[in-house]
Structure 1
């Protein structure tokens, strides 16, 4: 089969019409990482009857224990579908071993460092090639953390990022037991006996997560840990990020609390950045939760239009009917 890209082998595995939307699923084989078996599934959404006028590209990164269905349900509901109907060119990657992306040979060792060094740059190159434009990026939870790491590590920069939006994303919450070396050593010893953690068994989501990602997170939060890898300090690098940034927290989020999300936001050095907390005190109908901030009827009514407004003009404050949005220039 002829490749759909001049960059690396890419196969168009399906091209379907889903109601008023078109759904094209690509399988990327970048071959840029030590594990040559890595394949990444990327779904492209657009309006079925407007094939020749693709809009501005937007890349949506799912969180942990999740897949593309966080953004786009089989019934055609979700932020991804909403943005496609608003005329955006929507791209939804699934990380190694998630959803339609096959498990690679070294699946158990997969971690954020692999995502940011190899996978996101490959996705950015492919989306840029196919769309002919610089994409906007949106990440939720671990997807946002991965996006922040790629920006801080300069694996994604101005030529590949028009703007970045982080939803429910933080790396500052303290897990005190991990600061005690014997506890951390014991935890790593036990975890290394497993290849993955079950999202279904833990009631966290439909997907498993590789144990390598958990061990990496433990290093970040350990006694002398930092948000980065052996090569680069991602946290320090965030101060040099120049792309427009939107950071969004949820007042009812217990997993990634507002104060921690705000701390990450304040570390980013972008001249154009905005911070938004979704809660009653900020003028919203209720205190959103970690998932409900993007997947709920309330999000559909109150959050999705703000995302659309941000993508159309990241340099204008996303205040709308909620004047307590914090914007800095």
Structure 2
């Protein structure tokens, strides 16, 4: 590895968000990178102690990288549990603004924000709701981010209609949180309210806040977005289907940014899926290299 790793915690409200700081041995970029994970996962989608993942790759190539665990996930405190409540609105209105401003103040440079899956949705919502944050954001990069899952078929009926929309809320009522790890639904557990807040958007309800009705779709129409690059995977057939990714980009206005489909037909080494686009060993010789070059030209 050509970077060092250490942890820090950022106090927000009555909880602490964990940040895994990946510090390059030889810095080669002015812009810090903030990485935000999706639902039922944590920041380890971007790094591990052996130096794998997009976060480690960028740190090895000179970027200061901060991989954040959302409230209740990863090493953030407290853990998701019956006694800890955290909503999607809190993430949009408190956590993401706090993370961006923390790094902006720390490095005195605007931040590149990298988001996987659902994190791209809450990131867009946060920036649309708080446009005063936009000068603190240099660029946006998303991987498999969609708001609505419109694709049909057996996997949609099983994993979304049955498990996410029906079983998961039942588990939340039983346990007080979503025990995704115990039930092998994902890499990390979720606070109950956060899970419940996602369901309407996934079903295709309007892009408004389920808590106070704030109209994110209207707010997005007024945003002048920073430079952005959005990746979809050819073999992502459900959680970030290319059709749904493009629909999300159109809805928010982020479709003015760059869009790339990751597959062999498009000239890449693998037909990537929702997870392998960030974890496959070939990614570091593929789109990671392209992204590094693009970021250094900003």
TM-score range, shorter chain: 0.7 to 0.9
Aligned counterpart, 2:251: 267
Matched, 1:290 2:274: yes
Pairwise mapping of residues 42-191 of structure 1 onto structure 2 (< 5 A)?
Answer: 42-48=19-25, 50=26, 55-103=30-78, 108-154=84-130, 157-174=133-150, 191=172
Question: Does structure 1 retain, via aligned residues, the 8 Å contact 2:30–2:109?
Answer: no
Q: 2:6 aligns with which of 8, 24, 30?
A: 24
What's the TM-score, normalizing by structure 2?
0.84
Deviation of 1:154 after TM superposition, in Å, equals 2.8
Q: How many residues align?
A: 284
The CA distance in 1 between the partners of 2:38 and 2:205, in whole Å, is 26
Deviation at 1:176, TM superposition (A): 8.5
Q: Where in structure 1 are there 5+ consecutive unaligned residues?
A: 1-18, 32-36, 315-329
Match of 2:293 in 1: 309
Q: CA offsets, 1:176-227, max 9 Å, x none?
A: 89xx9xxx79985674333222232343433111121221112324585535
Q: Deviations over 1:22-45 (max 9, x none)?
A: 2232211133xxxxx211111221
Cα RMSD, aligned residues only? 2.9
Cα contact 2:124–2:252 (8 A) shared by 1: no
Seen in structure 2, the aligned counterparts of structure 1 residues 223 and 21 have a Cα distance that, compared at 3 Å, is closer
Q: Which residue number corresponds to residue 153 of structure 2?
A: none
Distance 1:300 1:176 in 2: 34
CA contact (8 A) 1:265 1:275 kept: no
| Bigger share in helix | 2
SS at match of 1:215: helix
Residue pair 1:294, 1:300 contacting (<8 A) in 2 also = no
Q: Deviations over 1:103-140 (max 9, x none)?
A: 27886532321111001111111101111100010000
Deviation at 1:238, TM superposition (A): 2.4
CA-to-aligned-CA distance 1:223-280 (integer Å, 9 cap, x gap): 8553534242223322233212211111100222000001111223359511111123
Q: Which residue of 1 aligns with 2:221?
A: 239
1:58–1:135 CA contact under 8 A, matched in 2: yes
Q: 1:298 to 1:241 in 2, by over 3 A?
A: farther
- What is the DSSP-based 3-state SS (H/G/I as helix, E as strand, rest coil) of the residue aligned with 1:64? coil
Distance (whole Å) between structure 1 residues aligned to residue 280 and residue 157 of structure 2? 33
Bigger radius of gyration: 1
Mapped partners of 1:204, 1:190: distance in 2: 12
Deviations along 1:282-318, one digit per CA (max 9) or x if unpaired, are 222332100011110121211101221231235xxxx
Question: Normalising by structure 1, what TM-score?
Answer: 0.77
C-alpha displacement of 1:148: 2.0
- Indicate whether 1:195 and 2:176 are aligned: yes
Partner of 1:252: 235
CA distance in 1: counterparts of 2:214 and 2:18, whole angstroms: 27
Structure 2 unaligned regions, length at least 5: 151-155
| Higher relative contact order structure (alpha carbons within 8 Å, sequence separation ≥ 6) | 2
Q: Which moved more, 1:228-237 or 1:60-69?
A: 228-237
